[in-house]
Amino acid sequence: MAQPDIVVVADAAALAQEAARRLIDRVGTKDRAAVCLTGGSSPADLYRLLGEQPWRDKVPWDRVHWFIGDDRFVPEADPLSNMGMARRLFLNRVRAPSENIHPIATNANDPEGAARLYEAELKRFYGADRLDPARSLFDFVLMGLGSDGHIASLFPRSPALDEKEHWAVGVAEAGMEPYVPRVSLTFPALASTQEMLFLVDGAHKRDILSRVISGEDLPARRAYSDGDLVWLIDRAAAPEK
């Protein structure tokens, strides 16, 4: 893995501000931009900020498309839904055209079926069936870090970690709570971005972050980006030197 840039900020509030600034930098002037959101609690402050001034006026809502890196196989109204959370915290509060929001179809028959539908949607959006390293699928990919080192719904020891062809996979069993089936993008699809930004805050993340940074073979360590790879962490999560 190429060495990521590690950016340390004071606290969770500063982390959300810096993430918003980076997102705007990536999508700002493009005719069409694609952002891949993440679930979990880490992005909640950022999502709230995007729905509020001054950030709300900085996002070119008509030109940005919103995808999700993984979701729990539950209806969007369920509190466990990642896209549901993004909608509640900001997408429902702004002028984001509904056709610019691309949820995983968690009403499909099963997670694998939903993965196939999402892959087809991503390919349609990208305009090709194969990813070209010179032309990224996303402009900005947000990632969280699970306490077991997972990212998206790519859990330690899962066969999904080795998926090289598919852009999305069904994950029948989650490796940690909440134990509901998932749908996840795969490493190659997530990597097809101008910037992948990890958001890690809080002292409870310090141990797992140290393990990732020290090179342990965890999913988060295997994540890569065709563009920039940045770990944005707050002081509480930063490993002691």
Task: Kindly state whether residue 149 participates in binding ligand 6PG, applying the rule CB under 6 A.
Answer: no
Name the DSSP letter for residue 178: S
Q: Which is nearer to ligand 6PG, 81 or 194 (CB)?
A: 81
Task: Kindly state whether residue 192 participates in binding ligand 6PG, applying the rule CB under 6 A.
Answer: no
Do 119 and 13 form a contact (C-beta atoms < 8 A)? no
Do 222 and 153 form a contact (C-beta atoms < 8 A)? no
Helix, strand and coil in the chain, % to nearest 5 = 35, 20, 45
Q: Which stretch binds ligand 6PG (CB under 6 A): 35-43, 188-196, 216-224, 233-241?
A: 35-43
Task: Kindly state whether residue 106 participates in binding ligand 6PG, applying the rule CB under 6 A.
Answer: no
When binding is defined by CB under 6 A, the residue of 96, 101, 151, 196 that contacts ligand 6PG is 151
Q: Considering the complex, what minimum distance in angstroms separates the CB of residue 145 from ligand 6PG?
A: 6
Residues 116-145 that bind ligand 6PG (CB under 6 A): 144-145
Residues 225, 240: Cα–Cα separation, whole Å: 26
# binding residues, ligand 6PG (CB under 6 A) = 14
Q: With CA atoms as reference, report the closest residue to 68 among 98, 102, 92.
A: 102
Q: Considering the complex, what minimum distance in angstroms separates the CB of residue 81 from ligand 6PG?
A: 9
State the DSSP string of 125-165.
HHTSSS-BTTB-SBSEEEE---TTS-BTTB-TT-GGGG--S
When binding is defined by CB under 6 A, the residue of 42, 106, 192, 193 that contacts ligand 6PG is 42
Residues 18, 143: Cα–Cα separation, whole Å: 14
Task: Kindly state whether residue 107 participates in binding ligand 6PG, applying the rule CB under 6 A.
Answer: no
Task: Kindly state whether residue 70 participates in binding ligand 6PG, applying the rule CB under 6 A.
Answer: yes
Residues 98, 108: Cα–Cα separation, whole Å: 19
Q: With CA atoms as reference, report the closest residue to 169 among 149, 156, 152, 145.
A: 152
Task: Kindly state whether residue 194 participates in binding ligand 6PG, applying the rule CB under 6 A.
Answer: no
Overall size of the chain counted in residues: 241
Binding mask 152-191 for ligand 6PG (x = CB under 6 A): xx--------------------------------------
Task: Kindly state whether residue 82 participates in binding ligand 6PG, applying the rule CB under 6 A.
Answer: yes
Which residue's entry shows tokens 């790519």? 154
The footprint of ligand 6PG (CB under 6 A) covers 38-42, 70, 82, 144-146, 150-153
